A = this chain, B = another copy of it.
Amino acid sequence: MDSTKARLVAAAVALLDAGGAKAVTIRAVAERCEVSHNTPYKHFDGRNDLLATVATNDFESLRAAFEAASFEDGARSRSSLTGALETLIAFSREHEARYRLMFSDNELSATPALEIAALASFQAFRLLVSRYQHQVGVTGIGEVELTGLVYATCHGAIDLEASGRAAGSKGLLSVESTLQNLFDLLEHRPIRS
């Protein structure tokens, strides 16, 4: 273990966290692993494939977090859902470049493994939404529609915050506040002002 391939992925992750996607050059990854600048090509199809591998791993971790939330006390499905969303929000803030790689990078080649991991994490999320919907009693909207709405709102709020376009001057609220407003709305309760 600690194979060269795994060490290359770890180096890419470290560079992503430290300096963003632009810091992940094949040469920097190789240097960090103390191999020649050509070695990564023996393990990956190229820079894009390396980044896709990072995103795949992160989707698998996300799925695990979502599934762990599903195993929590079924009578508290709202907190299971909001807890899972908080995990995602925290990840987006602490690992911004990796979050963008997962959810916002259309240049990233869609490898089969990435597609599978992304779909699996989405299905785990959908299960959380479904349990929340049934337990809290959100009516008048289908499960698919509700999942899409929560998913889009959460991602949009995260992305706008990350891109700095949700600054105080615009009066935009935190991701948590926006999601809170959505849930209050769904549960037909007065929305906090």
Residues of A bordering B, CB below 8 Å: 20, 22, 96, 100, 103-107, 110, 118-119, 122, 126, 140-142, 144-145, 147-149, 151-157, 159-160, 162-166, 169-173, 177-178, 181-182, 185-186, 188, 190-191, 193
With known contacts A119-B169, A170-B119, A163–B193 Cβ distance under 8 A:
no
Beta-carbon nearest neighbor of A125 in chain B:
B170
When distances are taken between beta carbons in the complex, the residues of chain B under 8 Å from A110 are 164
* CB contact between A153 and one of B153, B166, B171 (< 8 Å): that residue: B153
What are 22 A-B pairs at a CB distance below 8 A?
Answer: A20-B107, A22-B107, A96-B106, A100-B104, A106-B163, A119-B170, A140-B185, A141-B181, A142-B191, A144-B173, A145-B191, A147-B171, A147-B172, A148-B157, A148-B166, A149-B185, A151-B156, A151-B172, A152-B157, A152-B160, A152-B172, A155-B156
Do B145 and A155 touch across chains, with their CB atoms under 8 A apart? no
Do B163 and A145 touch across chains, with their CB atoms under 8 A apart? no
When distances are taken between beta carbons in the complex, the residues of chain B under 8 Å from A159 are 103-104, 155-156, 159
When distances are taken between beta carbons in the complex, the residues of chain B under 8 Å from A152 are 153, 156-157, 160, 172, 178
Q: Which of A96, A155, A173, A188 has the most CB of B within 10 A?
A: A155
Beta-carbon nearest neighbor of A156 in chain B:
B156
When distances are taken between beta carbons in the complex, the residues of chain B under 8 Å from A157 are 148, 152, 156
A144 to B142, CA, bound (A): 28
* CB contact between A156 and one of B100, B145, B153 (< 8 Å): that residue: B153
Distance from A186 Cβ to chain B, minimum over Cβ atoms (Å): 7
When distances are taken between beta carbons in the complex, the residues of chain B under 8 Å from A160 are 103, 151-152, 155
A140 to B106, CA, bound (A): 37
